[in-house]
Structure formats: C-alpha cells, structure tokens
Chains A and B, each alone.
Chain A
C-alpha cells in the first residue's frame, strides 16, 4: 500500500493562489484538501462611502477575467436599489456583452488552462510546436470574444462604458454588422472546438451533488433570473442567503457555502444540468458530440459544459445582434438617476457560476456591500470531490495522482482572486 505526500504550492493555470495537500499512509488518506492562500483585498469594506457611480467600476476589479460579470451584477444591484429601469436596447447590449465574456473566459479556460493537461504539456506554449493551427484557432476565437466586448464597452477586462443606468457609449450599426459577420465566420472554429474536446479522454469520475444556477422562463439564464437548484428548490434573488449559508474554515481565506446537502456546485455544469432545454440547438448538438446529457455528474465535464456554452453564446450573440439591428441602434444616454436611499440585490450566472451583489445606499453613497462569488460556493464541493477521487487513484504513481488532483481543481475554473473577500455582512 502506498504512502503519498503531495503538496502543490500555488496550483498553476488557475486564477489566484491555492494549494493542494494530500497525505496518505499505507493507502489510507490522512489529509486531502484545497487551501486558499490569496491575499485578501476587502472590497466590501472599502466601497463603503464611495458614490454609486463608482461602485461597479470598483467591483469590476475584483476579477480581471470575469470583470464584465462583476460590473454587470454590481450595476444591476445598484439599479435595483435606486429604482432605475433600463431601456430594451441597454438590456440587449448587456446580454451581448455578457456573452462576449462567457466566450472569452471559456475559451481561456478550455484551450489555455485545461487542454495542456491532455497533451502532457505544462502550458499552451509548447502546443504551438505540436499543433500550431489549434493554438492559432484558440487565439483567434479569444480575440473575437474580446473584440465583441470592446465594441460595446471599450474593452473586456474592466469594461468602461457599462454604467449604472445603461451605457455611456453605444456601438455603431456598422460595428455590429461587422461583428455579426465575424461571429458567423467563427462557426467552423466552434465546430472544430467541439470536435477537439469531444476527442479528449476525459477522466472517469462520478459524484452526484446539488447543482445551483439561475433560471429564467424565456431563455438560458446568464443575466438575472431566479435561483434554481437541482434538488428542486427555487428562490428569488433577494433570498440568496437561504442558498449560500456561508461559513468559515481555518485553512482557507474564503468563505464556504452549503444548501440542501453539505456542499453544492455552481458554474457551467450546473447551468447545463438545470437549464439544458433552453440551450440553442447547435449547443445541444455539441453536447451530444461530447456525450453529455443532463444530469451530468462528472465534475471534469464542467469544461465540456463550457464548450457547449461557447456554441450557445456564439449563436445567441448573432441572434441578439439581429434583434438590435432590426430595432435600429439608438445613440441613447444612460437612464437619468435620482439618488435615493435604498437597498438592492442582483445576480448573474458569470463564467464560473452564480454571483450575488447586494448594496445599501444613502444619499447616493454606498453604506453596506456584500458580494458572494462563484468560486467560494464551489470550495465545499471541490473538497468533497477530492475526498472521493483520492482513494480511487491512491495506488497510482505520485505524479499521476498529483496531475489528477490538479486537473480536478482546474475543472472548476477556480477564480481565487475573486473569492477572497468574504461576506455574510449583517446589514443594519
């Protein structure tokens, strides 16, 4: 029986700092956990006293990869608090921008961070030598996603024009027409991506859990909606604390969450399992090619669900642009804001899962803030997965065990920078 001591200090190809520890003696696992060691940044603490106009631009900086997600959710929560209504055009542009981020983030994760493990490479760079056309496809797709964000908000990382009340800049009709053409031209790249990821030898691992996401009646939910869990619960967003039930654990600088079971999972796989019927037909084809049908309980296939969502978001982006063009683009200004006292909530299902922002305002200044981040909500589930996976692979060579545990962590696409400011703030 094997004795194993694995200590992965700062897991690579993830966003932020986390460690994996596995100790086993004579085949018996003594310790197996994922530690978060990121420097805490205290966003909820330091947005207090700042004007409402700044809050979504500050909280965007929680994460450079899902900055559109944070900025959108934050603006929506502020709009909810101040009673601001968006125009139909601004609502469509928000959804389109959001698709740009889902595409950008999922391409980054699947191609740059996950794929190298399947080719025995330490990063995407050696893959240039092995299969340059595939790397060039990844670069091309990611650039397109970034360009989609840029025509709406100036850039993907830290969107400029996304403001409370709508947008401070509206793309020109010609920019949208050009973008539509590029998206249509990218269809073969998406098909090739489905083919590539369907051909990978995904690790076999099953563990059923509670999957938590947003849901909507009329579309596959990313921006707003109701909270839905695969154990049959539904809540309005303002009841988010009934789902998250946060608690602290000493080895982590992040708060953990649980709902109906000891842990739950959020992210692409949760959305896929909860809202499969609303995916675009081409995304359903992608799922079939990947051998995925709900309910999928293999965590590694969270990356597969991301590929499915890439297919969905590409097609839905084309549809949204068509709708915008049909309506006719108006160079409109953001909604007029009357500052008033109020409290507001919002939720979006960002690339890594369901995200909540919650604020209280007085005289236009933020008094209280609470943000609950997807990666935090996944820690309990990740550790439960590790505890189940480790005994199954404990007799394999140490390098292989280490790789499998790292691949499991990466499957979650953890965004550790995001997750290091914790909450459960009691609003007075």
Chain B
C-alpha cells in the first residue's frame, strides 16, 4: 500500500498479441473506479511512466526465449502476487503450436529463411513453467468481467474465483442448442468455464482457450463425442489449438511411465 492507499500494480508482456491488455483498457470503459483502488505503475502499451515498485504483476504472453526468463525472474522477485493473464501466459496458448511442428528449426527457417539464426526462440512455455504463479486469468482473450472480479477478489485477499466446472454449464444456462448435437466439434465438456460460453453462443464450438478443467470426466466426454459422431482423434486435434504445450507434457509423461 502506498500513501494514497492504492495498491501498486504493473503489467508486463511477452510473446502475445497484447489483446488481453487491450481488454483491460476496455474494462475501464465501465469500471473507471478501478483506478480509485489501484495505481498502475507500469503498463507499456498504455502509459509512459515505468515504476519498479509494485505489489501485483499481471503478465501477458508466453516465454519463448532465454532473455524472457531473466525478465520473469525480476518480476517474480519484486511482486508479492504474480497473475498470469490470458492463454499465452496461462497455457502457452497459440504460440505453443510451433512446439508440435515436426521441427522447431524447420519453423524458424520457413519464416526467416537463411536468416533464421538472427531470431532467438525456443519451445513455447506458459510462465508457470519458469516462475511460480499465484493466480491465473484464463482465456484468449481474457473476459473483461472476470478480470474485474479477479482484481476485486485479490485486493480483498480472497481466492481469485476462477470456475473449476466446464463451459457446458454456462452454455446450458444460456439455453444454447448443443453444437455437438449438430455434429460440430466443441471442447465445452472439458474446458474451464468463466467465458459465458461465448463461442458456442456465437455459433462456434469451444476451442479450449481457457485450458482443461481439473479431473475432466473423460468417459462422459467419449460418450458425448460418440453420440455426436466424432472421434476422440478429431477432438484431440482441436485440443492442441490452445493446449499444445499440455498435450506435449502428457505425451512426455506417458513415455516416462
């Protein structure tokens, strides 16, 4: 706490589209009063000042190179609370799609040709693979309302309040017709809720951007898929869109067993 009783917060970004930070800027449209509770000391996308004294760090983006690690260690050292912001930071997200290409060097050369070595990169990781993370706000992008809720909870010293149940719950509450019944692939049954089931509501199957729920009911998922005429392979292909890093980890764990 500072003299003005505001909690100092800072925003940082790594490999990402900065859409989550934009979503936070948008959250101010309806919650300008958040600025009465927190003081933003660093937010490169939106403000020039750069303060190094902060209590809460919000980190958007994945770790994709050695120099990112140094920045993350520094943030961890300073912040009492580190919050992973959005899919890239939380699960590795879209950036981890490069991890499941046949060869990382191949990807680098495809994009940068014979200059590939000019551009440092290694397999994408969520930030929790590099530093301890106290909370996460999932999604690609994050949900505006959920961000406001998490900030309030953290300021009150409460748990962030991210749901553990699947997107299907919210989809049912919206009274949407189940897309699986229409034969559309949807990861709703195993993906963490909190987005208000926005994709199914707008006619698109869930892409799993908020990560998989703890203890997913795999058998029920298989039954649902079977009824929809979809194979587990078809669903797993979709699963890698946002969870390629997790898919890799599972595979590695199975190899060890």
Contact = CB atoms under 8 A, between A and B. Distances in A.
B47 A39 contact: no
Nearest to A9: B50
Nearest to B20: A64
Given A125-B35, A143-B29, A12 B22 contact: no
B199 to A, nearest CB: 5
Nearest to A415: B18
Given A45-B108, A158-B140, A58 B97 contact: yes
B243 interface: no
Given A41-B95, A63-B17, A67-B17, A422 B22 contact: no
Contacts of A47: 97
Given A58-B97, A112-B25, A160-B204, A65 B19 contact: yes
Contacts of A41: 15, 64, 95, 98
A123 B48 contact: yes
Nearest to B26: A146
Interface in A116-132: 116, 122-125, 128
A65 B201 CA distance: 23
B18 A160 contact: no
B231 to A, nearest CB: 14
A17 B68 CA distance: 13
Interface residues of B, number: 60
A417 B115 contact: no
Given A128-B32, A128-B35, A122 B19 contact: no
B46 interface: yes
A155 to B, nearest CB: 7
A54 B15 contact: no
Contacts of A143: 26, 29-30
B115 A248 contact: yes
Interface string B83-97: 000000000011101
A314 B229 CA distance: 45
Interface in A191-247: none
A259 interface: no
Given A45-B107, A160-B199, A112 B17 contact: no
15 contacts: A13-B47, A16-B18, A40-B112, A44-B111, A51-B237, A54-B238, A64-B141, A65-B18, A122-B47, A123-B43, A124-B46, A125-B40, A139-B29, A160-B204, A168-B204
Interface of B: 14-23, 25-26, 28-30, 32, 35, 40, 43-50, 61, 64-65, 68, 93-95, 97-98, 100-101, 106-108, 110-113, 115, 118-119, 121, 140-141, 198-199, 201-204, 207, 237-238, 241
Interface of A: 10, 12-17, 39-42, 44-51, 54, 57-58, 61-65, 67, 108, 112-113, 116, 122-125, 128, 139-140, 142-143, 146, 153-158, 160-161, 163, 167-169, 248, 250, 253, 417, 421-425
